[in-house]
Amino acid sequence: MRISAALLLTLPVLLRAQHDQSATPKPNPAIKDPVAIAAGAKLYNQSCGGCHGPDGVGGRGPNLVRQLQSHQLKDDELFAAIRNGVPGTDMPPTSLSDDDTWKLTAYIRALTGPASDSRVPGDPVAGESLYWGEKAGCGGCHAILGKGSRMGPDLSNIGGSRPLAYIRQAIVPAKNDPSRNFALYGKEGVTVTLKNGKIVKGIARNRSNYSLQVVDTKGELHLIQMADVKALAVLNHSLMPEDYDTRLTATELRDLLAYLAKQSIRPASDNAKEDSK
């Protein structure tokens, strides 16, 4: 199963047109059913993972996580795309039964939806210790509910707003991904040398030809006029560490992801209500 680059512009129109012409049932009977999602995962690995990657973050085919975050499709529209394919693209139709198509839809929804809505393996308590401890050191840059540094993006709602695969790639990005442009990364790293000899290191925000804002490693905000700057060194990459794939074991990474997946500003009662639907 593969979607061409043209899908970026045509996906919403094509899928809704297909939806109008098809009589697919709704709502998805497999949604949030762990047994059905597990069956959908097998179908995905057999039919979709070769193009879209095992986590939906792309390969020979497009990144489904980013695609479906950009285009908020209903379950029956996603069902129609899987069943009928997308005309004018490399996305072919399938011969799956209704039951299997709903299972695959449920898995893709779990794969690309907010991490807090998924059953994420791992020990979130152990992950919390890693996050705030020296080994991972996440709290030195990122805050959660007011605790931690303000230098990097706030992660209080990272699980409620980002898919698990998106978070995983932010921590351990693909080696061939030069952008490293994910929610956990923040803006460019800078070293500012002022004319009075003071040196400020941190993350640049709202940089222009006239002024510069820098959040330093202690989370303090510096408002700097460019007229006072003697030298400005801008990193060509983020300050996000690049060695988590070797710094953390597979178990530790799993636990850290389990902790981050739980970070949601939505009240617990809201999640419980949705799970009961």
| Fold of the 189-234 domain | SH3 type barrels. (2.30.30)
> Does the pLDDT value for residue 200 go beyond 60?
yes
* Domain 7-112, second-level architecture: Orthogonal Bundle (1.10)
Domain 124-182+242-276 belongs to what architecture?
Orthogonal Bundle (1.10)
Determine which of 35-39, 185-189, 244-248 has the lowest per-residue pLDDT on average: 185-189
Q: pLDDT of 84-115, one tens digit each? A: 887 777 778 888 899 999 989 888 888 888 88
Give residue 264's pLDDT: 94
Express as a percent the part of the chain with pLDDT over 70: 79
120-156 pLDDT per residue, tens:
889 999 999 999 999 999 998 899 999 998 888 899 9
* Higher-pLDDT residue of 174, 147: 147
Can you give the pLDDT at residue 60?
75
What's the confidence (pLDDT) of residue 207? 81
Averaged over 174-190, what is the pLDDT?
57
Ordered by start, the domain boundaries in the chain are 7-112, 124-182+242-276, 189-234
What's the chain look like in SS3? CCCCCCHHHHHHHHHHHHHHHCCCCCCCCCCCCHHHHHHHHHHHHHHCHHHHCCCCCCCCCCCHHHHHHHCCCCHHHHHHHHHHCCCCCCCCCCCCCHHHHHHHHHHHHHHHCCHHHCCCCCCHHHHHHHHHCCCCCHHHCCCECCECCCCCCCCCCHHHHCCHHHHHHHHCCCCCCCCCCCCCCCCCEEEEEECCCCEEEEEEECCCCCEEEEEECCCCEEEEEHHHEEEEEECCCCCCCCCHHHHCCHHHHHHHHHHHHCCCCCCHHHHHHHHHC
More confident residue, 177 or 52: 52
124-182+242-276 and 189-234 share one CATH topology? no
